[in-house]
Structure 1
Amino acid sequence: MPDDDYVYLLGASLFVFNRFNQFMIDLLRHDPNAVKTWYELMDTPSKTIVNRLDAFICRTYGVKDKEKKEHAANELINLVERRNRIVHAFAVTDKGKQVLRTKTRHNLPDPEKRDQQFPVTREFMRDFISDVKDMDYKLNDFREYLRSHHLG
């Protein structure tokens, strides 16, 4: 088994993202265009949740600029992709200890970046947790906007 702090960070990474995913779903339930129930949304892939939430946010704030829309979506999609790298990691022995390694996706647009292996380090997980928390604050601002405008 890996060191206890490594396992703790792995569990914390997954827990923080799962809570964040639930938060995104809760926000989507305030979208007047949403047609899915909470149960259906819980079974929806995170990337689809992100795309729907991004569209809802942009519609609510009246964002029409393509670059601004893409920037917001990319921030959220990046978190999903990083979570996926953790979830789809594989165990290896490195210097006599069990750790995780992962790889970049096989279908990235840049062939040089495809299928590149890298370790899931403590720093990778700490950064991921921190970035999820940062996005959580931003989405909380959106929730407050919905409340202040009686939309949520």
Structure 2
Amino acid sequence: MYEDYTRQALPSKEYRELLGTCLCVFNSNNSFVIENMLSNSSELNWYNLVDLESGRLRAEFNKMSSPFPEAIVNLFLELVVRRNRIIHSFQITMDNVQILATKTRVRDGNEQFIISKEYLIEFISMNEKLSTLLHEFRGY
């Protein structure tokens, strides 16, 4: 697919909308995780937390005097891995359609991991679950 603003081949509008949604919901949750961390720990600093890559928040969870809910930490860190797969992907043509993929290491080399529409929808759904857990933890 092409758009007026580029001659490069692009995935479908729906796929690109899902990609954009993935980025937005993750970014929102990343900020909400930091907000929750700060509201439960006086040892942490917003400027330092915001400057960290999302995966580096793992160490900051351990610095908190009152424990952060394990379900939130685990889900957030799983989403970081999935988000990284999306961000560090490359574009391929599959069945005459543009889509993203990454490589997965296997015993004797690598294989492509297709970032399907279903993968993106699952990522969005998992972020919704994280948002709900964060709201509950915060007392909303």
Q: TM-score range by the shorter chain?
A: 0.7 to 0.9
**Structure 2 residue ranges without an equivalent (≥5):** 1-9
2:57 aligned with 1:46: no
Relative to 1, partners in 2 of residues 1:58 and 1:125: Cα closer, same or farther, differing over 3 Å?
farther
- State the number of aligned residues: 130
CA contact (8 A) 2:37 2:68 kept: no
- 1:4 Cα offset (Å): 0.4
Name 1:83's counterpart in structure 2: 83
1:39-70 per-residue CA deviation (whole Å, 9 max, x = no partner) reads 32221011122442466496267xxxxxxx5x
Name 1:124's counterpart in structure 2: 119
Name 2:6's counterpart in structure 1: none
- Look up the equivalent residue of 2:47 and give its one-letter code: Y
For residues 41-120 of structure 1, the aligned pairs below 5 Å read: 41-53=49-61, 56=64, 59=67, 69=70, 73-104=73-104, 112=107, 115-120=110-115
Partners of 1:7 and 1:81 in 2: CA distance: 20
Aligned to 1:59, what secondary structure does the other structure show?
Answer: coil
CA contact (8 A) 2:54 2:80 kept: yes
RMSD between aligned residues? 2.7
Name 2:13's counterpart in structure 1: 4
Q: Give % identity.
A: 32
- 1:84 Cα offset (Å): 0.4
CA contact (8 A) 1:24 1:53 kept: no
CA contact (8 A) 1:54 1:73 kept: no
- 1:72 Cα offset (Å): 5.2
Relative to 1, partners in 2 of residues 1:124 and 1:60: Cα closer, same or farther, differing over 3 Å?
closer
Partners of 1:133 and 1:45 in 2: CA distance: 21
Say which structure is richer in strand.
2
Say which structure is richer in helix.
1
Partners of 2:63 and 2:23 in 1: CA distance: 25
Partners of 1:27 and 1:93 in 2: CA distance: 41
